[in-house]
Amino acid sequence: MISSRQFFAIYSGAVTLAFAGVVLLGARRPAQNTSFDQITVHRINVVEPDGTTRMVLSNNAEFPGAYYLGKEYPRTDRDATGMLFNDEEGTENGGLIFGGKKDKNGVTHSWGHLSFDEYQRDQTMVLESNSDGASRNTYYALNDDDRPYSLTPQFSAEWQRVKAMPPGPARVAASQAWHTKYPGGIVNRGYFGRGRDKSVTLSLKDQQGRERLVASVGPDGAPRIDFLDASGKVIRSISSDTK
C-alpha cells in the first residue's frame, strides 16, 4: 500500500512533467494569426521581439512624444494624429500626420505631412500640404541637415521651452541663444510646390541654401525661369517673351 508521502511524491512528479510538457509544446507552437473584420483602438504600437518600438499608429490624445534610443520623451509642442516611424535603435526617423478643423471664427484649416529623417537628424524629404481658409500651400522638399550633433532629448526640450514663451524681446533673446548653442540646421535644397498666391514653383538651391535656379508658372499662367548668383541677384531670365 502506497503511503501518503509516496503518493505526494508521485503526484508532484506527475504535475512537474505535465507542466514541462505544456511549456515545451507551447514554446514550439507557431505564432497564431488572428483575423478581424473591424478593430477600434486609440493607439497601436509595433515593436520588435526585444520590445523596441518601430512604429506607432495613434489618435491625437495618445500620440507619443519623441523617441530617442528606445526611450520616449515628452514633446509639448506635438499636436498630431497619424503614424510615427522609428529606426532599428528606437530613434524617430519620420512620420505621417494629418488633421483639419474649423476655428472659433469659422475659418477652416487642414494639414498633412509626410517626412523621412536622416539618422538622428531632422527631416530630409518632406511632402506637405496646408490650408487656412482660402489660402493653400502644397509642396515637396529635399533638405540637408548640417547640424554637427544629434537631436537629443535635451535639444528638443530646450527648443520647446523657447517656443512656449510669449512673443516679445525675451523670446527673441532666448531663440538667438538657442541657435548660438545649436548652430546649423535644415537647409532646403529643392522645393516644388503650389504657393499661396496660386503660382507653381520649382526652386533649386546650393549647399548654403541660396536659391540658384527658379522655374515658375505665375498665377496668371505665365512661365519663367530665373538664374541667380550667390547673392540672390537674377543674372538671366527666360520667359515666354524671350527670343
Q: Which tens digit of pLDDT belongs to each residue from 103-126?
A: 999 999 999 999 999 998 888 999
Is pLDDT at 222 greater than 80 in this prediction? yes
pLDDT of residue 34: 86
Please say whether the dihedral angle defined by the alpha carbons of residues 62, 67, 71 and 75, taken in this order, is positive or negative: negative
Pick from 112, 103, 157, 167: nearest CA to 133: 103
**Residue 201 and residue 225: Cα distance in Å, rounded?**
10
Is pLDDT at 11 greater than 60 in this prediction? no
Q: Which tens digit of pLDDT belongs to each residue from 72-96?
A: 998 887 888 999 999 999 999 999 9
Please say whether the dihedral angle defined by the alpha carbons of residues 83, 89, 91 and 95, taken in this order, is positive or negative: negative
Percent of the chain with pLDDT over 70: 87
Decide: residue 219, CB within 10 A, 0-12 exposed, 13-18 middle, 19+ buried.
Answer: exposed
Pick from 72, 52, 71: nearest CA to 63: 72
pTM (whole model) above 0.95: no
Is pLDDT at 1 greater than 70 in this prediction? no
Q: Where are the beta strands (DSSP E) in the chain?
A: 43-47, 53-58, 66-68, 71-73, 82-86, 92-102, 108-117, 123-132, 135-145, 186-194, 200-205, 211-217, 223-228, 234-239
Confidence grade of residue 127 (pLDDT, cut at 50, 70, 90): very high
pLDDT of residue 30: 65
pLDDT of residue 19: 58
Q: Which tens digit of pLDDT belongs to each residue from 33-49?
A: 888 899 999 999 999 99
End-to-end Cα spacing for the chain: 117
Is pLDDT at 141 greater than 60 in this prediction? yes
Q: Which tens digit of pLDDT belongs to each residue from 151-200?
A: 888 888 888 889 889 999 999 999 999 888 888 888 889 999 988 888 99
Rg (the chain; Cα; Å): 28
**Residue 215 and residue 239: Cα distance in Å, rounded?**
10
Is pLDDT at 27 greater than 70 in this prediction? no
**Residue 59 and residue 73: Cα distance in Å, rounded?**
18
Question: Which sequence spans correspond to the domains of the chain?
Answer: 197-243
pLDDT of residue 3: 59
**Residue 129 and residue 192: Cα distance in Å, rounded?**
12
